[in-house]
Homo-oligomer: A and B are copies of this chain.
Amino acid sequence: MTELSVVGKPTPKKDGAEKVTGRTRYLHDLVLPRLAHGKILRARHPHARLVRIDTRRAAALPGVLAVLTAADVEQEPFGFARDQTALKAGKVRCVRDEVAAVAAETAAIAEEAVALIDVDYDELPAVFAPQAAVRPDAPRVHDERPDNLTDLRYQFSHGDVDRAFAEAAAVVEGVYRLHFVTTCCLETMVAVAEWDAQGGLTMWSTTQVPFLYQRELARALGISGDRVRVIQPPVGGNFGRGLDLYPIDVIAALLARRVGRPVKVEFERLEEFVASPTREPCEIRLRTAADVSGRLLAREAHVTVDNGAYVSWGSTTPYVMLATVAGLYRVPNVRFDTTIAYTNNPYSGSMRGYGNLESTFAVESQMDELADRLGLDRLEIRRRNTTKSGDVNPQGFVVTSCAMRECLEAVADAVDRPAPPPEAGWRRGVGYAGMFHVAGGARIYRSDGCGAIVKMDDFGKVALITGATEIGQGSETVLAMIVAETLGVPLERVEVVNSDTAVKPWDVGAHASRTTFIAGNAARMAAEKLRGDLLAMAAEQLEEPAERLAMNDGAIFVAAEPQRRLPYERVARAGHYAPGGRTLVAEAFYDPPTTMLDKDLRGNVSATYGFAAQAVVLDVEEATGAIRVRRVVSAHDVGRALNPLAAEGQIHGGIHMGLGYALAERLVVENGQVLTASFMDYAILRAEDMPELVVRLIESHEAEGPFGAKGLGESGVIPVSAAVANAVHDAVGVRFTELPITPARVRAALEAARR
C-alpha cells in the first residue's frame, strides 16, 4: 500500500467544528434530573491540626442535602503512595486539603453552606522547600515520616562516571531551578457521580486514564472495580491533569452515595488554580563532561523534587528526567539520583512533557556551555553527539528509526531564513535545543496495550470503538483516518466511540504521547481483520478468490479488472442478508514489544523513540529586559505524519505551552498559599504573544508504527525553554538557570553583569 488516500492528508479534527461553534457538550454542561451540586471546603492553613469542625449551621441551610467530613464517611487512602484520603482527618497538610464537602440543590446554596462551616485549626509549623524538609529539625508533613522523604527514589548508574569526569577535556555544571506551573485547562475540573440501585457507580469524569481511574476510584471507595463505570465527555484540555484520581472525584461519589442523587462538583477558576495539579517544582544539579572534540563522556544529575503534601505523578517525573540525562545525545557514562521530599505545598501531577522540559532545560543549557567552552559551533556539538538508529542507550532503550540528524539540519536550514532585524536597543539571539522522548508507548504499567473493536453496519458506517481517550489531541481524527485508510472507505463514514468503560476495551490511558502509536496499531489491526472478512464476503459475491480483490475509495473490485466492482456497503449488506450471513465486527489488542524498567531503571520501555530539534530566534531589549520571540523552528521525527495538520497543531500548542513555561507562566506559591489564582495574575501567553512558527515534519518511517508513525503529543513543548535560555544567552550573554525568564529577571541580570 504505497499510495495512501486518507493518511498523510492534512485533515481538520472531527470534533473541531463542534468545538469552535460552541456545540460541544463538556461535562460542565451535563444536566440530569435530580442533579445535586457539591462544593468543597479547603484548609485555611498549609499545616494545622483540625481541632473541631462544626457543620450544624451549614446543614441547617435550606436546600442543603448533606454536609460531609471525614468523620461521616468510610474512605480508603488513595493516590500514588496511598497517602491521602479525600476528606482529611486529624490535620491538613496543604491549602488544597479538603476539610468538608456539601451537596445542595444548587451550586450557590452549596457555596453558601461551605461558608457556614466553622473549623477550628491548631496551626503547625510548616515547611515549603524539599531542601528544608529533609533537615532533621523540619516539621513533619506526615507524622509517620520523620525524614519527610517519600518512598520514591530514582537511582541509576552506568559506566565509570568518575573516571569520565576526571579525564574530560571540559566539564560544565549547574543548578537548574524549575517552578510551579499549572495546566490552565479552559475546562476546570469537574466530576459527576451517580449510584444506581444495585450499588453501581457511574462517574462522568475528565480523566484521561479511565481504566486506572476506575480501579483507583473503586479502591478509594472500598468497592470492587467492576462496580465503577466511567464516562468521559469531551474535555476542554487536560495536558496530564487527568492522569490521577483526585479528591474531587471521591468526594463527588461520597456525596452522591449520601444523598442518593447524582452530584456534580465543579471547580471555579480560583479553585482550579489552587486545587488542580501542577507541574512539579524541582532543582536539577547537573554536570556534563566532554572530550576535546565535544563528544560527551558523562553526565551526572541529582534532582530534588518538591513533592508537596501528597504523592501524585509529578513526583515520578525523574523517571523521565533520567531518560533525558541518559538518552538525549549519546552519553556513555551516567549517574543519576533523586531526593523527593514532602512539603506543605500543593502537590503536582502529570503535565505534558512530564519531567522532560525540566531535564532538557538543564541538559541543553549545558550543551551550549560545552560548545562555548570547547569553541565549537552549537549545532556542530549536537551533530557530533547525535543518537543514531541502532543505538542502545545506557538504560537499554533501543533506538529503531531516528532522524535526529535530519531534525538538526532542518532547524539550521529554517533558522537561516531572513527575519526582520532587531530594533534599536534590542539584541538578537538564536538558541537551539534537541529533544528525546518515548514515541512508541511507555510501559509504566504492566500493560501498555490498547484494544479496538471495529464494526461496520448495513449503511457502510464504520464505528471504531477504541480504548483510547480523546483529550483534545486529535486522536479521534487520526484513529478514524487509520481505519478509513486500512479499509479503503471514506473518512466521514468512520465514527469513533471512546467515552464509556462499559463499551470500550482496555487502554492504559492518554499519556506518554502513546495514543497514535498504540491505539493506532490496535485500530489498524482490527480494521485489517474486518477488511479480510469483508473481502471474503466480496469474494463470494464477485465469485473471485479474495486474494484477487482490492478495496479502495469505498469500493471492492477485482484488482485486475477494476470495472468489476461493488460499493463496500453493498457487500456488507449482501453478506449480512445471505443465508448463514453475518455482520461485520472485528477486534484487536495491541501491546507493544517493550518491558518495564527493572529496579536498576533499565529496560526498553518504548517501542520507538521520538526526536526533535528546535531553534528559537528572539530579541532582548537591553534597557528593560523584555524578550520578543520572533520565530520558533521545530523539526520533528514523527515517523510518518498521519495527519500533518494535527501534527503541526500539536507542535504549535506545545510551543505555546513551552514559551509560557520559559518566559511567563508561574504559579506563585508563598508559604504554601497560591497567590496567582486568576488569569489576571497567572500569565499564559496570548495569541498576539506568539511568534512565527515553522514546523518541519521529518518522516523516518518507523516500522512498528501504524503506517510508520511515532508519537508526537509532547515533543513540541519539551525543548522550548532550553532553546529560549540558549537564545537569551546568545543575545545578551547571560545564562539563566531558573525559569521563567521574565523581563525583571533579565534586567536584573543585565544590571548585575554590567556591575
Contact = CB atoms under 8 A, between A and B. Distances in A.
Interface of A: 14, 17-18, 21, 23, 25, 29, 31-34, 196-198, 211, 214-215, 218, 224-226, 228-229, 446-447, 449, 451, 453, 455, 457-461, 463, 465, 492-493, 495, 497, 500-503, 505-506, 569, 576-577, 580-583, 585-587, 589, 591
A512 B225 CA distance: 38
B29 A25 contact: no
A569 B218 CA distance: 15
A576 B447 contact: yes
A602 B355 CA distance: 73
Contact of A14 (B198, B226, B461, B497): B198
A228 B580 CA distance: 27
A214 B457 CA distance: 11
Contacts of A453: 453, 455, 585, 587
A212 to B, nearest CB: 10
Contacts of A23: 34, 196-197
Given A23-B197, A447-B581, A585-B589, 13 more contacts: A18-B196, A18-B197, A31-B31, A31-B33, A225-B457, A226-B457, A226-B461, A447-B577, A455-B503, A455-B505, A457-B501, A463-B502, A587-B587
A493 B200 CA distance: 10
Contacts of A457: 211, 225-226, 501, 506
A447 B584 CA distance: 14
A493 B459 CA distance: 33
A610 to B, nearest CB: 24
Question: Counting chain B CB atoms within 10 Å of each CB, which of A33, A214, A229, A495 scores highest?
Answer: A33
B451 A583 contact: yes
Nearest to A502: B463
Contact of A503 (B214, B465, B506): B465
Contacts of A587: 453, 585-587
Contact of A21 (B197, B226, B505, B591): B197
Question: Counting chain B CB atoms within 10 Å of each CB, which of A461, A493, A577 scores highest?
Answer: A461
A608 to B, nearest CB: 18
Contacts of A458: 211, 215, 225, 506
A714 to B, nearest CB: 26
Contacts of A34: 23
A576 B18 CA distance: 36
Contacts of A198: 14, 17, 492
A435 B470 CA distance: 54
Nearest to A574: B446
A334 to B, nearest CB: 28
A581 B225 contact: no
Nearest to A506: B583
A207 to B, nearest CB: 15
Contacts of A463: 502-503
Contacts of A211: 457-458
B451 A585 contact: yes
A17 to B, nearest CB: 3
Contact of A505 (B33, B196, B583): B583
A582 B453 CA distance: 13
Contacts of A493: 226
Contact of A497 (B447, B503, B591): B503
A539 to B, nearest CB: 19
Contact of A506 (B214, B505, B506, B576): B576
Given A33-B31, A197-B23, A580 B585 contact: no
A497 to B, nearest CB: 6
Given A33-B29, A446-B577, A229 B495 contact: yes
A17 B199 CA distance: 11
Contacts of A446: 577
A225 B31 contact: no
A543 to B, nearest CB: 21
B576 A218 contact: no
Contacts of A218: 459
Nearest to A455: B505
Nearest to A33: B29
A229 to B, nearest CB: 7
9 contacts: A14-B198, A23-B196, A25-B32, A214-B459, A229-B495, A453-B585, A497-B500, A581-B589, A582-B591
A627 to B, nearest CB: 39
A237 to B, nearest CB: 19
A191 to B, nearest CB: 19
A23 to B, nearest CB: 7
Nearest to A445: B577
Question: Counting chain B CB atoms within 10 Å of each CB, which of A218, A226, A463 scores highest?
Answer: A226
A398 to B, nearest CB: 16
A198 B477 CA distance: 13
Contact of A585 (B29, B214, B505): B505
Contact of A459 (B224, B569, B577): B224
Contacts of A460: 224-226
Contacts of A18: 196-197
A505 B571 CA distance: 17
A376 to B, nearest CB: 44
Contacts of A17: 196-198
Contacts of A451: 583, 585
A582 B465 CA distance: 16
B506 A502 contact: no
A502 B576 CA distance: 17
A503 B503 contact: yes
Nearest to A195: B23
A581 B23 CA distance: 40
Given A33-B31, A493-B226, A577-B447, A215 B459 contact: yes
Contacts of A585: 451, 453, 505, 587, 589
Closest 7 CB pairs of A and B: A225-B459, A17-B197, A226-B461, A226-B459, A446-B577, A585-B587, A31-B31
A106 to B, nearest CB: 15
A538 B704 CA distance: 29
Contacts of A229: 495
A493 B580 CA distance: 32
Nearest to A214: B459
A697 B581 CA distance: 33
A597 to B, nearest CB: 16
A683 B65 CA distance: 41
Contacts of A577: 446-447
Question: Counting chain B CB atoms within 10 Å of each CB, which of A21, A197, A465, A497 scores highest?
Answer: A197
Contacts of A506: 457-458, 576, 583
